[in-house]
Amino acid sequence: MSLRLALLATSLLAAVPALADEVNVYSHRQPELVQPLFDAFTKQTGITVNVAFIGSGMVERLVAEGSRSPADLVMTVDIARLAQVVDAGVTQAVTSPALDAAIPAEFRDPAGHWFGLTSRARVVYAARDRVADGEVTTYEDLANPKWKGRVCTRSGTNDYNVALTAAFLAHHGEAETRIWLEALKANLARKPEGGDRDQVKAIWAGQCDISLGNTYYMGEMLADPEQKQWADTVRIVFPAFEGGGTHMNISGVAMTAAAPHHDAALKLMEFLASDDAQAIYAQTNHEFPVKPGVARSDLVASWGEFAPDTLGLIDVAKLRPAALKLIQEVNFDG
């Protein structure tokens, strides 16, 4: 969303008279991914959810609005973005036995400022007809010269790739991470461009053989008549770090410091962690529910089992600035 549209959306929220039975949400998530959840919440509680979809500039907007902000909640698609909102001082701690019981400790802030709602894995999409089973098993493998001219990826400075690099940095340190980034760059078939689905399209077109992507994009592609043909040409591989597991990230929610509808906003947060909402996430968004006991969708389950990395998400978020610096220093996108 452009800054102009973001400002318009948030100004419209501010213009709506405050009602007890409503919640205002600033969201990085696309409308089709969250609207089914809000519709279910409204049906269950009668509380209206007003949403401003903001692609960039959310933190700056909240800081500028201060205590006058109409936003009750922020929803983001990356642990780093959650950390940025908290670090900016525009959130408040939430105490909720229901949230603590539903969301495992590794998926929530110890201080109660943010809560994970879904998780996803950063995986390899591999050409079915050109990449053998077991040919790539680790993130470290991506630096192997055998992949020269065979790898596609979106920008190295994209949040998802920065988070992956931060996790690599946590596992291996600065020197090895720099070497890995340089080798991965040397293996690229083209300059980084587009989104995760564009990389699968490039594999379908024969431009490369493997790419990095988030798991849920496979579900989105299979549901799209045009993109299904791309998806059918690849399979999901769950790589792991040497000595670790598959890199995970989350979508999450935080309550703003202003939160004019605190109680209604807390009800929405607790709903999003409920069995009903977690099941909607699983079926609609093709993501992994964070609440134990809520089943993955049949499609997601068909992708197979894997061992998630045990790195703490906070540890990954703290290394994001250092990871971004390394990505820029090797001129990954150049």
Tens-digit pLDDT profile for residues 109-167: 999 999 999 999 999 999 999 999 999 999 999 999 999 999 999 999 998 999 999 99
Question: Is 207 within a domain?
Answer: yes
Distance CA 71, CA 95 (A): 19
Sign for the CA dihedral angle at 304, 308, 309, 315 comes to positive
Give percent of the chain with pLDDT exceeding 70.
94
Neighbouring CB atoms inside 10 A of 148's CB total: 12
Mean residue pLDDT across the chain: 92
Neighbouring CB atoms inside 10 A of 39's CB total: 12
Whether the pLDDT of residue 65 is over 70: the answer is yes
Do 278 and 227 share a domain, yes or no?
A: no
Tens-digit pLDDT profile for residues 67-95: 999 999 999 988 888 999 999 999 999 99
Question: Is 19 within a domain?
Answer: yes
Whether the pLDDT of residue 5 is over 80: the answer is no
pLDDT for 20: 60
Do 158 and 235 share a domain, yes or no?
A: yes
CATH code for the domain in which residue 76 is found: 3.40.190.10
pLDDT for 328: 98
pLDDT for 78: 87
Do 322 and 241 share a domain, yes or no?
A: yes
Query: Please, which residues bridge with residue 92 across strands?
Result: 255
pLDDT for 9: 46
Do 286 and 318 share a domain, yes or no?
A: no
pLDDT for 56: 82
Q: Identify the band that residue 263 occupies on the pLDDT scale cut at 50, 70 and 90.
A: very high
Helices (H), 51-154: 58-65, 79-87, 97-102
Distance CA 31, CA 284 (A): 12
Question: Is 50 within a domain?
Answer: yes
Do 53 and 87 share a domain, yes or no?
A: yes
Tens-digit pLDDT profile for residues 297-313: 999 999 999 999 998 88
pTM of the model: 0.87
Do 22 and 45 share a domain, yes or no?
A: yes
pLDDT for 17: 45
Question: What's the distance, CA 45 to chain centroid?
Answer: 28
Structure tokens at 125: 């999409």
Q: Identify the band that residue 16 occupies on the pLDDT scale cut at 50, 70 and 90.
A: very low
Do 279 and 198 share a domain, yes or no?
A: no
Q: Identify the band that residue 10 occupies on the pLDDT scale cut at 50, 70 and 90.
A: very low
Give percent of the chain with pLDDT exceeding 90.
84
DSSP codes joined into one string, 117-133: EEEEEEEEEEETTTS-T
Under 8 Å between Cβ of 92 and 115: no
Do 150 and 110 share a domain, yes or no?
A: no
- On the CB side of 315, how many CA atoms lie within 13 Å of its CA? 12
pLDDT for 8: 43
Helices (H), 187-331: 196-204, 216-222, 228-231, 262-272, 275-280, 298-302, 313-318, 320-329
pLDDT for 55: 79
Of the candidates 194, 181, 183, 195, the residue with the CA atom closest to the CA atom of residue 149: 183
Neighbouring CB atoms inside 10 A of 16's CB total: 12
Q: Identify the band that residue 29 occupies on the pLDDT scale cut at 50, 70 and 90.
A: confident
Question: Is 334 within a domain?
Answer: no
Domain that holds residue 253: 3-119+248-297
Do 170 and 310 share a domain, yes or no?
A: yes
Whether the pLDDT of residue 315 is over 90: the answer is no
Do 156 and 260 share a domain, yes or no?
A: no
Quote the number of domains for the chain.
2
Query: Please, which residues bridge with residue 127 across strands?
Result: 234
Structure tokens at 40: 């279910």
Do 227 and 288 share a domain, yes or no?
A: no
Distance CA 59, CA 254 (A): 12
Structure tokens at 212: 């990095």
Do 234 and 321 share a domain, yes or no?
A: yes
